[in-house]
Structure 1
Amino acid sequence: MRWLVLPLLFATAPVALSPALAQQTPLSPRPLGVPPAVNPPPPPVASPPVRPGPAARAVPAPVAAGLAQDLEAALEIDAVARGLAAQRDAVRARDAQVRSPIAGSPAIGGSFRADTRGVNRAREWDVEIGAPLWLPGQRSALAGTVEAGVAEQARRLALRRLEVAALLRDAYWAVGLAEAELAVARDRLATARDVARDLDRRAALGDISATDALLGRNEVLSAELELARAEAARETARAAYATLTGGSVTALAGIRPEAPARSAEDHPALVAAEAALATAEAQSRLVAATPIDNPEVGLFTRRQGGNLTEDGYSFGIRLRVPLPTDARNTPRRAEAEAGRTRASADLAQARRTVQGEIALARVALNAAEAERRLAAQRKAVADQQLAASRAAFRAGEIGAFDLFRVRQLQIEAQAADARAVVAAGRARSRLNQAMGAVPGG
């Protein structure tokens, strides 16, 4: 009896759940009755477990690192992630300047001079090679900016990983929801056909009218239509997921709920903001260490010839030392201080934002779990009510219309329970996202 009831209760559930839930945020809902989510850190889910539906029981256990593997595949084709990786390498390349013994590129110069009174009266030429010199503390300050810049880009890349994980979770749970709805649609069709056969048999025996038998046939057609829609939705969701990952669908072998995140101490948003502040402070130190442009020293040789000049070669050294001015240094100091202030404010705001999102996600999770428990109780009562109505119908105590009215109530209870299960799974995902947890992290 129970297996007949299960599909019926979802008669209207797929229509109510598909559009809204399939487009949830990356912290997407757990699919209706889909097996626990893909990203499984070692410990099992600590919060009240989500009850698996028909699809969950049918899907084999997936590879633990499935979602993590798909995340790596998605990052490989993500334009923002690739740009950040390239920028990190570009910052690291500045280390070549730090290793150089001079502060910039050397230069070669020369000149020639001749007297206008005639050929060979007087002529002079010289050749010079020069290079800029490091200021005291400038080289170590520059090395600090390189180190801080590389670390910042690496942290930004980790933050982008979390952002892509949010997109991947959304697409992943969209597939899970589509799979669950497909399983429900199949069960609904199987149950509708069973009820239709029962009604046709009763009509043939004269126990019920032919009009009542048409109710069962209508339900079969409705279930077949819903099954066709669910199959199309499943294929669409899988295609969207594959597009995001570049074709990798390792995680879709089985969908499982995520384990709860343990801590938000290393939240990528906070770490990235801290790295940005470290870069700004390193830039401030570099500005302080370079109050003037780099001095230049040059060695030259001169050749003189002609009747009115000292004939022969000479050697010398030139030194050029720029002087500090407010016109040069004030804007640079102000810009560096502005960058440090901005980075400090961004860090403080990131901390407030993360703390607020975690608090809101915890409240939402507690509310979703409470709703799930109440919905489960309501569904259990509705299941018993439907089972009793089926027995009464077979005994001829109630008619088909009464049976379908009770069945509709049970469908509503099942839909509410399914939405509550999805809401609980979505709330768990949102909490993990708010805490900065990535699949496989």
Structure 2
Amino acid sequence: MRRPLLAALGAAALLAATPSDLAAQQTPLARPPLRSYPDLAAPQARPVPPVAQRPPQPPETPPERRAPRPGRRGQPAPAPEVARAAPAEAAGLAEDLDAALAIDAGARAIRGQREAVRARDAQVRSPIAGSPAIGSSFRSDTRGPRLANEWDVEIGAPLWLPGQRSALAGTVNAGVEEQERRFALRRLELAAQLRDAYWAVGLAESEWRVARDRLATARDIGRDVQRRVELGDIPATEALLTRNEELTAELDLARAEAAVAAARAAYRTLTGGSEAAFEAGGRVPRPLGGPANGEAHPAIRAAEAALATAEARARLVAATPIDNPELGLFTRGQGGPVTENGTSLGLRVRIPLPTEARNAPRRADAEAERTRAEGELLQARRLVEGEIRLARLGLGATERARQLAADRRAVAERQLAAGRTAFRSGEIGAFDLFRIRQLQIEAAAVDARAEVDVGRARSRLNQALGLAPG
């Protein structure tokens, strides 16, 4: 009689129980009842983010790089330490790029080459095609200089060919423009290195925040476990599990701090010590403007300038079929008893003749350079278009992955909050709680990395479009 009576009483209790009561009776390893979930609106089941509680002596916090964003509907807003804003490049990145450009050897070489090309403008401004020359000679009779002698002095200079001077000016202007665009391309290449270093610091800091929150939660759970051990609810051996977890979290935090320091050091090495992107005023995102199709990409513009330089040199070769003619002014004097005594003036002109042996190799070299420049321009356009397509695909994939990672983290945080409530009420043990918490740690780490991946993907799209910071 007692068994049927107990069964009837148990059935009545189950029918009278609320869905939240039924959910409280379920362990994470048990099958939940149909359409019965923890009541998130109830105060006792509301998830509390573990990052809201800090350890007694938190480590020094590196500067935050992004502003927090509001929490999603149905879950509490995360603590300010967990940045949720859309990643963007810092405004101070342009200042750091200028600092890196000032000490870059490649940029200095391009600036020197630009000045060397610009110095050729002095020849264009000259009224003669080259350097003037002066010469003299002396001649005497074999019977002695007292009987007959002759001397002359000459000064001459090369002359410009028709159209040669303007063609040379075109090569100077095209060469200066080419070096300017090569400098812009080098700036973009440095921007790629700086962006990689910037997001490497961001990834290290996000992993540091995850490790810090893991340590804070481990200490909080450790206090709950110690309280239950003191009450005699669980054996003292389970406290060793929490202590092991605390030590593991402290080790991960120490490694994360070292990774942040190493990433910062690498960034400072690239910029020569500047860290404007991480300062308080450098965290404001600065939008980058420019064509969305990459037509103004420095690689394309540099290739176009190289083609213009090759064409200008081809025009100079065509305008110089012969060496420059020379015009000279001379004076001649004669003396002696057996010759005329006097001084005379005269002009001397030297005009080279065109030959195919001279001109054919020069035309071939100019044509080969122009053909190479055309091929490099076409290749640069193809590469830029391909990089833009890949960058857009990568950005879309990272944004989708970030949304999934954020949803997974939200579910994991709710699951952890429910597990901690069940642990405090004695429904599950420390082992089951730490299994749930491990899922939350993995979800938080994936979400932090996905957030940085979105920022890095946007920087790569800006890089593919040829947009440098500033």
- 1:187 is aligned to 213
- State the number of aligned residues: 402
Retained in 1: the 8 A contact 2:409–2:440?
Answer: yes
Matched, 1:322 2:352: yes
Percent identity of the aligned residues? 69
Give the residue type in structure 1 aligned to 2:66: P
Report the residue type matching 2:332 in the other structure: R
CA deviation after TM superposition for structure 1 residue 117, in Å: 1.1
Amino acid at match of 2:373: A
Q: CA deviation at 1:3?
A: 2.6
1 CA distance for matches of 2:99 and 2:362? 42
Look up the match of 1:17: none
Check whether the contact 2:317–2:362 (CA below 8 A) recurs between aligned residues: yes
Matches within 5 A, 1:24-423: 34-35=65-66, 55=81, 57=83, 65-253=91-279, 255=283, 259=287, 262-263=290-291, 264-423=294-453
Amino acid at match of 1:203: V
Matches within 5 A, 1:6-25: none
Map of 1:20 onto structure 2? none
Q: Which residue of 2 is the match for residue 23 of structure 1? A: none
Residues of 1 paired with 2:205 and 2:453: CA distance? 17
Q: Distance in 2 between matches of 1:56 and 1:330?
A: 70
Q: Does the 8 A contact of 1:34 with 1:180 survive in 2? A: no
Q: Distance in 2 between matches of 1:83 and 1:277?
A: 21
Q: 1:5 to 1:76 in 2, by over 3 A?
A: closer
User: Structure 1 residues 337 and 6 mapped into 2: Cα distance closer, same or farther (>3 Å)?
Assistant: farther
Work out which of the two has the higher radius of gyration on C-alpha atoms and give 1 or 2. Answer: 2
**Structure 2 counterpart SS, 1:2:** coil
**Alpha-carbon contact 1:203-1:209 (below 8 Å) kept:** yes
Shift of 1:57: 4.7
Between 1:400-409 and 1:421-430, the stretch displaced more is: 421-430
Alignment match, 2:5: none
Q: For residues 221 and 312 of structure 1, what CA distance do their matches in structure 2 show?
A: 110
**What is the TM-score when the length of structure 1 is the normalising length?**
0.86
Structure 1 residues 136 and 2: CA distance shift in structure 2, 3 A: same
Per the TM alignment, residue 310 of structure 1 is displaced from its structure 2 partner at its CA by 1.5
Partner of 2:49, secondary structure, is: helix
Q: For residues 119 and 381 of structure 1, do their structure 2 counterparts lie closer, same or farther at Cα, with a shift above 3 Å needed? A: closer
Task: Give the deviation of 1:53 after TM superposition.
Answer: 8.5
CA 260–361 in structure 1, closer or farther in 2 if over 3 Å, else same? farther
How much has 1:158 moved relative to structure 2?
A: 0.2
C-alpha separation in 1, matches of 2:89 and 2:202: 16
State how far apart, in whole Å, the 2-side matches of 1:55 and 1:93 are. Answer: 56
SS at match of 1:436: coil
Return the offset for 1:260. 6.0
Partner of 1:434: 464
Q: 1:7 to 1:125 in 2, by over 3 A?
A: farther
Stretches (4+) displaced over 3 A: 5-8, 51-59, 61-65, 254-262
Q: Larger RCO: Structure 1 or Structure 2 (Cα < 8 Å, ≥ 6 residues apart)?
A: 1
Cα deviation for residue 413 of structure 1 reads: 2.1
In the alignment, the residues of structure 1 paired with residue 401 and residue 90 of structure 2 have an alpha-carbon distance, to the nearest angstrom, of 29
Aligned to 2:49: 3
Return the letter of the residue paired with 2:49: W
Distance 1:150 1:181 in 2: 47
Gaps of 5+ in 2: 1-46, 55-61, 68-76
Instruction: Classify the secondary structure of the residue corresponding to 2:153.
Output: strand
Contact 1:107/1:130 (<8 A) preserved? yes
Distance 1:396 1:216, change over 3 A: same
Q: What is the root-mean-square deviation in Å for CA atoms of aligned residues? A: 2.5
- Cα distance in structure 2, aligned partners of 1:56 and 1:272: 43
Does the 8 Å CA contact 1:357/1:434 hold for their aligned counterparts?
Answer: yes
Paired with 2:89 and 2:461, the residues of 1 have a C-alpha distance of: 23
Unaligned runs of 5+ in 1: 9-30, 37-50
Structure 1 182/53 Cα, relative in aligned 2: closer, same or farther at 3 Å?
A: farther
